[in-house]
Amino acid sequence: MSADAGADDELKAAEARVGETLGNKWRLDKLLGMGGMAAVYSATHKNNLKNVAVKVLHAELQRNESIRTRFLREGYVANKVGHPGAVSAIDDGTDDSGAVFLVMELLSGESLAHRVDSQGGKLAPREVLVVAEGILDVLASAHVHGIVHRDLKPDNIFVTEGGGVKVLDFGVARVLDSAEARTRTGVVMGTPEYMPPEQARGRSEHVDGRTDLWALGAMMFRLLAGRYVHVAETQNEVLLLAMTEHAKPVIDAVPSLHPKVAGVIDRALAYEPTDRFPDAEAMRAAVRQAIALLDEQDGKETLVPVRELDDDELDDAAATIPVSDFAKARTASVSIPDDSKPRNGMWVHTKATPPELPKPPAKKRGFLPIAIVAGVLSIVCVALAYNMHARGVRPAPSASATTSALAAVTPDDPDADTDGGEDDIELDDDDAAVAIMPTATSRPTARPTSTAKPKGKGKKHKH
């Protein structure tokens, strides 16, 4: 019979039990799930109506005495842990039909395996750390009592609706001071993907609390990276890798992971037990530090660059804001990251609203530009007037003084200086610079023929 056919038969048999009463007191109400060893039901006590979970060993396994014994000891070991995070056993027994069952507290929530699947195969770092902290609380208590779980995996971790963490299935747990612990060397028990080297090699004498820490590190790796520490096509090949290969750094699979978080996982996954955390309490302390670091990081205000104000804008703003207020506007919300180099521009907190700087006042066009233009035109007019005066030219009756002066200096005039459009004019110091106004009777006259040298030292002006 194929494995699929066998699984179908087990499912049908499990569904057929719904409505039965086990041990003459526990009525099976609903099938909750199926595992490799047992089916799990929600059930009710027929007298006090207490709601519980009942695990019933699969029929084909009930004939194996060692499996029956290991199944029933789960409740004993879970109760011995003595921690609320370990699911407690309420009752156990064998029904008249031969069904072996274990009664445990009923939980409301979901398994960690289901949760990660519903989230797309990965969980956020902080959520993984919080779950790990809850598991380590349980492991610290279990290890003190000499109990090693040996089968930590997402299927055996339950997250309650209130966010609590429960550790399930102590069925393959090892009690270090038991006779079984001294005689079972060479037997490999657990899930290959979460087995450390000593457990994969069947070296049970080397199995201790640090074995569970490796399994927890492998679980955290899986929840963050979306894949196992060791990946192979068969379970035997996975076991071989677990025996011989060191775990790769988790940062290789999750580059964005904070180094502190990565450090916790990498140490838990150390090949040699002596290189791992010495116990669950030490790892729990490291996990709590990592949680606090992430919380502190998330609580910091994010810095973002804003447009840099140029000098003119800052000066304009300063001119319209009192000195004390302007200092606040420039410094109250300005922050430079500690680890950053000097940057061009300001950095402001996104959680704070920076004081709004007033818009720069509109620049007024004052009188100065107009005065400059008027001055230049006046100089041109005066220069032309002196030119005309020196040549003995009078303005025409119908032309303005400026136009007459320009007309008097033309290429037709043999005495005109045309060196590139610039007229060099020598003036006496005692000549008055007066504007030549047009008159009705003025006419151009011939230039004086006097050769007398001008009085005083002449000055050369350009216009």
Question: Cβ distance 177 to 246 under 8 Å?
Answer: no
Q: What whole-number distance in Å separates Cα of residue 35 and Cα of residue 19?
A: 20
Helix (H, G, I), strand (E, B) or coil at 147: strand
**CB contact set of 462 (below 8 Å; sequence gap of 6+):** 422, 424
Provide the residue type at 218 as one letter: A
**Alpha carbon of residue 399 to chain centroid:** 81
Q: What whole-number distance in Å separates Cα of residue 255 and Cα of residue 225?
A: 10
Would you tell me how many other CB atoms lie within 10 Å of the CB of residue 48? 7
Q: How many CA atoms lie within 13 A of 277 on its CB side?
A: 26
26 CB burial (10 A radius; 0-12, 13-18, 19+): buried
- 53 forms bridges with which residues in the sheet? 42, 104
The tokens describing 111, both together, are 């398994």
230 CB burial (10 A radius; 0-12, 13-18, 19+): buried
Helix (H, G, I), strand (E, B) or coil at 278: coil
- Candidates 348, 283, 345; CA nearest to 314 is 345
Instruction: Decide if 151 is catalytic.
Output: yes
The tokens describing 209, both together, are 């609390």
In the set 92, 151, 169, 266, the catalytic residue is: 151
Which segments of 226-357 does DSSP mark as H helices, in order? 235-244, 250-253, 259-268, 280-299, 311-320, 323-331
DSSP-derived secondary structure for 411-437: TTSTT---BTTB--EEE-TTS------
DSSP-derived secondary structure for 52-93: EEEEEE-GGGTT-HHHHHHHHHHHHHHHHH--TTBPPEEEEE
- Give, in order, the Cα–Cα distances in Å from 341 to each of 190, 333, 334, 336, 338: 52, 18, 15, 9, 8
Active site residues per annotation:
151
